[in-house]
Structure 1
């Protein structure tokens, strides 16, 4: 079982209704051709309302079909005089020579006719036009929103399918990873050894050769003795004496 909820978008207590002659050009309707300045051209004075009707299902969810009607009613009894199902800008058109008059397409049992309406106050006519503009804007937004939701749903499905195909980043057999952090871990090219002639230049930027360690005291002593033809006395058993008695009273040989 469905339920209908109605909302009034616009209300004006008095609007004058006129007969609209057929259009003779594509320039639009003109209030001057309705003879609005003559009393006998007036058909009826009605109350005008814009009503939005939404149909709700049993669970309270709103259906996609939302109907909007521009109703011309008897101001005393509220009976319907003429109804205009508002489906777009072509249903209600403002005349080209006035801001207070509109041409309205009414429908009755499948038959269509054009009626002219005129507001006594410009402010009411302005509010009427703004209400119709808001209805069109909401309808276009709802239509584009539905299409956008469909596109977003499609993109979500594609993203989910792509997420399932995960790439395998594991290392295969024999594969390695080289990681370089700054200058660490980099091997320097081996430098060629420098000769003594290369180091002799003594440039500030040249590398110094490695020097041998200094000789020990024993090596120095042995070197000096060999230069004088002497041997190491520790090996010949003379207790360090040089072949003569160093006693104070010893004899010379």
Structure 2
């Protein structure tokens, strides 16, 4: 029972493998140096898997990146994932990575490239979750995985602190003497509140001109009263009354005489 292990496949994909030349500067790896445009530079096309292995009780957890034959499943290369330094993204592409592979005492870096950016993104997220879940970026903190006191941290080979045991930084904070923040005799506190009690100047609003003209429109005179209208009607002649009513109704006024109807000769007066 003690030798039984539990394996979980965290990622599965397909990559092309490349030979990685030694770094000559601290600028990082570049996919262009691997001659990725040349199909002959591909040394192997592998199935890549990220596998988590642990005991039944969740102790002794480790993570491996395995490059295998996609048809037979035979192992081509294995890279234990112990931190971010085990997989290094290249500086000129988001689809290529340099993976640290181990074969006994020998260690080397092997270049891998995904055909799709989405697969490369999922691969990076998977490794990020492994580091976050097991506090690989903070070796002083214990593992978040289940397990008993003193269990091995995720892939680091270190023994994590038992639950409830404070770290060195936390112990130093707990051992500090309490600070006295009370006021000494004669000390005062002055508080200044900005713009408190001041009267704000009244906001002046300038009239804005209308869109049609920059000058204000004149006020229209008030309508005439009923008495003025009656007096004006009494003073108007019959022809003026007909003209006013026709103009109001939109009908042309009838001719008041034969001359206005188009008869200009002297017989126009006889009907």
- Asked whether the two chains share a fold, i.e. TM above 0.5, the reply is yes
What's the CA shift string for 1:34-89, capped at 9, x where partnerless?
00001111100000000000023xxxx332x2010000000000110000000000
Using the TM superposition, give the Cα deviation of residue 151 of structure 1 relative to its aligned residue in structure 2, in angstroms: 2.2
- Corresponding residue for residue 105 of structure 1: 100
1:37-56 pair list within 5 angstroms: 37-56=37-56
Question: Are positions 1:143 and 2:142 aligned together?
Answer: yes
Greater share of helix: 1
Q: Secondary structure of 1:36's partner?
A: coil
- Corresponding residue for residue 209 of structure 1: none
Structure 1 length-normalised TM? 0.55
Query: Please, what is the CA RMSD of the aligned residues?
Result: 2.2
Unaligned runs of 5+ in 1: 159-253
Greater share of strand: 1
Structure 2 length-normalised TM? 0.52
- Corresponding residue for residue 92 of structure 1: 87
- Corresponding residue for residue 207 of structure 1: none
Q: 2:62 aligns with which of 53, 67, 72?
A: 67
Distance in 2, matches of 1:23 and 1:68, equals: 26
- Corresponding residue for residue 132 of structure 1: 127
Distance in 2, matches of 1:92 and 1:16, equals: 15
- Corresponding residue for residue 19 of structure 2: 19
Q: Secondary structure of 2:166's partner?
A: helix
> Displaced runs of 4+ in structure 1, greater than 4 A?
144-148
Using the TM superposition, give the Cα deviation of residue 108 of structure 1 relative to its aligned residue in structure 2, in angstroms: 0.8
Q: Secondary structure of 1:52's partner?
A: strand
Give the number of the structure whose alpha-carbon radius of gyration is greater.
1
Alpha carbons 2:7, 2:53 under 8 Å: kept:
yes
Distance in 2, matches of 1:133 and 1:74, equals: 25
